[in-house]
């Protein structure tokens, strides 16, 4: 801060009082300048520390809310799968008639899995930032957060070791069952499941499904009260917390139409699978999805490639795609190889695959794809874009899946 002050003019100081007065004014002006300079700096530094403390508070509250949601979803999962398992225990004759999705759901329920996995990254940040605790300046808040992290570890330990949460099939048993399952996949195995529903371990596990659901709901309720208390004592509104979350999840800069021109490949498709979108200058696009499948009858992959077309535009920070009606699928069997003994079997299988694709193409002529709108952003290199896809679950909650695509060519 530039503060001007008067310097004494000795040529006009003809009296002792004049000299003293001028020197006094100089000292006062200098003192004011120092106070303003260092006082303002201290004020700014203190304000930044308080803001850092508030950001830290919102970070750990959000971490708490994420765990609450995980437990609530886990409780719903226990209830839904428990009801299905109870039904099959009481009606084993219905196992042959349930859908493959339901069959896979029951198998996943019975297999050994970790219900709750801790992401302790936020906890480590919080515990390593004791200087920030001072700026939070609320011992009750600090104690609540520490209590939450202690309880979280207790719940994880309990759910890992207690008989209440013990699944009836061990990893070794799962492996042995897979060896006898159709295509080595238990999700297709109705025969072994029919035997299992009379097993005492399975019946015990089913009997405790509501107890597991109740345990997880009570734990989530306990944490919810802690979360609400933390928000209240720190005077953090739901709107402020949402703004914090949105800011943390926002990456990159809004993409422009000129930056989108070219072909982009989905980075989440690995191996033989591919997905790409080509944005043309005339605002048309082509969307190509290739998936591979294998068979024990031959070596190498068979590729199904689906082709979509439509028009695109950028409005604000959103990429909008309007798909044309219909889609086309082609089949590529040029990458497979087989023995002479399998020639007839493979030929029959390929004929079946071609017939299936022909049926796809006939029914897909009238297919209407939904309009896609993504808040598209691009990174500093200009070669990677983020396309978050928002869906609404059966419970009405918003789910966001982040897709990333890299530039293949302009």
Tokens 């989905």 sit on residue:
266
Domains of the chain in sequence order: 48-249 (no CATH), 253-409 (2.40.128)
Among the ranges given (80-94, 137-151, 252-266, 388-402), the one the predictor scored with the smallest mean pLDDT:
388-402
Q: Are 22 and 205 in contact (CB under 8 A)?
A: no
Global pTM reads: 0.64
> Looking at the predicted structure, is the pLDDT value of residue 3 above 50?
no
pLDDT value of residue 183? 82
Mean pLDDT of the chain: 86
Higher-pLDDT residue of 269, 407 = 407
> Looking at the predicted structure, is the pLDDT value of residue 345 above 60?
yes
């Amino acid at each position: 801060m530039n503060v001007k002050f008067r310097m004494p003019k000795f040529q006009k100081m003809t009296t002792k009082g004049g000299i003293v007065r001028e020197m006094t004014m100089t000292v006062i002006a200098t003192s004011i300048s120092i106070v303003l300079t260092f006082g303002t700096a201290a004020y700014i530094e203190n304000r930044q520390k308080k803001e850092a403390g508030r950001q830290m508070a919102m970070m750990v509250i959000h971490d708490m809310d994420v765990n609450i949601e995980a437990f609530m979803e886990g409780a719903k999962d226990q209830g839904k799968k428990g009801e299905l398992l109870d039904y099959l225990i009481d009606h084993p004759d219905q196992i042959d008639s349930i859908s493959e999705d339901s069959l896979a759901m029951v198998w996943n329920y019975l297999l050994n899995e970790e219900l709750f996995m801790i992401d302790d990254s936020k906890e480590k940040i919080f515990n390593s930032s004791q200087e920030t605790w001072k700026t939070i300046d609320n011992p009750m808040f600090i104690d609540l957060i520490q209590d939450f992290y202690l309880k979280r570890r207790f719940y994880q330990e309990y759910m890992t070791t207690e008989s209440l949460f013990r699944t009836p099939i061990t990893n070794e048993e799962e492996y042995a069952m897979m060896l006898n399952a159709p295509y080595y996949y238990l999700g297709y195995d109705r025969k072994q499941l029919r035997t299992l529903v009379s097993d005492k371990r399975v019946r015990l596990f089913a009997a405790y499904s509501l107890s597991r659901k109740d345990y997880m709901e009570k734990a989530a309720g306990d944490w919810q009260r802690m979360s609400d208390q933390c928000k209240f004592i720190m005077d953090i509104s739901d709107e402020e917390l949402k703004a914090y979350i949105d800011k943390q999840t926002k990456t990159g800069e809004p993409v422009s139409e000129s930056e989108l021109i070219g072909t982009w490949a989905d980075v989440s498709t690995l191996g033989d699978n591919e997905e790409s979108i080509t944005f043309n200058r005339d605002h048309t696009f082509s969307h190509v999805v290739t998936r591979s499948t294998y068979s024990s009858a031959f070596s190498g992959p068979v590729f199904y490639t689906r082709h979509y077309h439509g028009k695109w535009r950028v409005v604000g920070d959103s990429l909008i795609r309007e798909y044309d009606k219909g889609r086309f699928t082609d089949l590529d069997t040029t990458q497979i190889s087989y023995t002479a003994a399998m020639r007839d079997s493979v030929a029959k299988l390929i004929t079946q695959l071609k017939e299936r694709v022909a049926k796809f193409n006939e029914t897909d002529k009238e297919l209407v794809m939904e309009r896609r709108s993504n808040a598209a952003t691009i990174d500093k290199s200009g070669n990677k874009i983020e396309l978050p896809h928002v869906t609404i679950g059966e419970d009405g909650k918003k789910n966001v899946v982040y897709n990333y695509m890299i530039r293949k060519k302009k």
